[in-house]
Amino acid sequence: DASLAEVNSFSPSVPISPTSMINQYKFEDGPELRDLFITVDDPESHITAIETFITYRVVTKTTRGEFDSSEYEVRRRYQDFLWLKSKLEEAHPTLIIPPLPEKFIMKGMVERFSDEFIETRRKALHKFLNRIADHPTLTFNEDFKIFLTAQAWELSSHKKQGPGLLSRMGQTVRAVASSVRGAVKNRPEMFIEMNNYMETFSQKINLLDKIAHRIYKEEREYFNEMKEYGPIHTLWSASEEDIAESLKGIASCIDRCCRATERRMAGLSEHLLPILHEYVLYSEILMGVLKRRDQIQGELDSKVDALASKKTEKDLFSEEIGKLEDKVERANKALKADWDRWKQNMQWDMRSTFTNVAEDNLRYYEE
């Protein structure tokens, strides 16, 4: 990239600082007209005879006419967010639904129900709802509106109106049946390219995720060693009068390095790890969306094959094929539009994430 080459061609006469370097990489994020603002905050622990769980306050402010009020405040637990995600996937099978954090923390980073875990989850849930609010289609979903506005008993009542067990089993059986029909014969080139892109993206983002966790682990081990190493020099200075001042100076230096490393770890856990892991989850979601699009295409292909082999019922088959063709076209258009939005957001997130990490590293080494 020529622009990056220019940025890296530093002149010796120009002072280099984190700000001057980083500003050359940043690009403007144009303001958008928004009419729905959502905040997730104030986590509360609830302990019952059978379970312990956390609820979060969800505050919504809006100027939309379809809402009865301009402001709502409700409390939601993680299971409610899971329900919303499943309803969005059910209503919009070929749209890219934002990921939720997993139910249990992975890789032993923090303990469940610790303050750090709860805060990490709160941020992820806040981002989940705001990504939906910013989506041109998902933001107008009726279940999303109910999630934001209904009190706990109203939401519980609404959940019970969903499809019954037999209906859900039927959907599962159909999904499994369609997934084993084999490769789609007439998959458009655009979706072949998407599939290839996601396979490569999935491999690379998973590798980046592993590397980032390894870096964080090494930083934490280094930090713990320095915490023990500094006081040793202070104790040593008490028994070595001739070099006491030098030893105290080293102890002070180690202490400053320790604090700088702690800030660097905080930057990694805030700027890098959550974003990379979010896109690990996104890669799984994208592969699922592409499979669901293929299932619709496969259903159309099977009907076309059936029509070609049958001489009777041609009118009935032609009508079904027409409906399936419309369904495939709608699915293709929805996924294509969402794909473009997702790639743009992903590139922005990755660039800003690595820019923040670079800025933190520059500051760390200067300190």
Confidence of residue 164 (pLDDT cuts 50, 70, 90): very low
Q: Give pLDDT tens digits for 252-268.
A: 999 999 999 999 999 99
Q: Give pLDDT tens digits for 210-238.
A: 999 999 999 999 999 999 888 999 999 99
Residue 68 belongs to a domain = yes
Question: How far apart are the C-alpha atoms of 43 and 119, rounded to whole Å?
Answer: 8
**What is the rounded average pLDDT for all residues in the chain?**
82
pLDDT on residue 146: 95
* Percentage of residues in the chain having pLDDT higher than 90: 54
My answer on whether 224 and 118 are in the same domain is no
pLDDT on residue 183: 61
Instruction: Indicate whether 59 pLDDT > 70.
Output: yes
Confidence of residue 186 (pLDDT cuts 50, 70, 90): confident
My answer on whether 222 and 102 are in the same domain is no
Instruction: Indicate whether 293 pLDDT > 60.
Output: yes
Q: Give pLDDT tens digits for 6-23.
A: 444 334 444 444 444 444
Cβ(258)–Cβ(230) below 8 Å: yes
For residue 278, give the CATH number of its domain. Answer: 1.20.1270
My answer on whether 124 and 70 are in the same domain is yes
Domain range holding 65? Answer: 33-153
Cβ(85)–Cβ(275) below 8 Å: no
My answer on whether 279 and 145 are in the same domain is no
pLDDT on residue 311: 55
Question: How far apart are the C-alpha atoms of 128 and 40, rounded to whole Å?
Answer: 10
My answer on whether 144 and 190 are in the same domain is no
Q: Say how many domains are in the chain.
A: 2
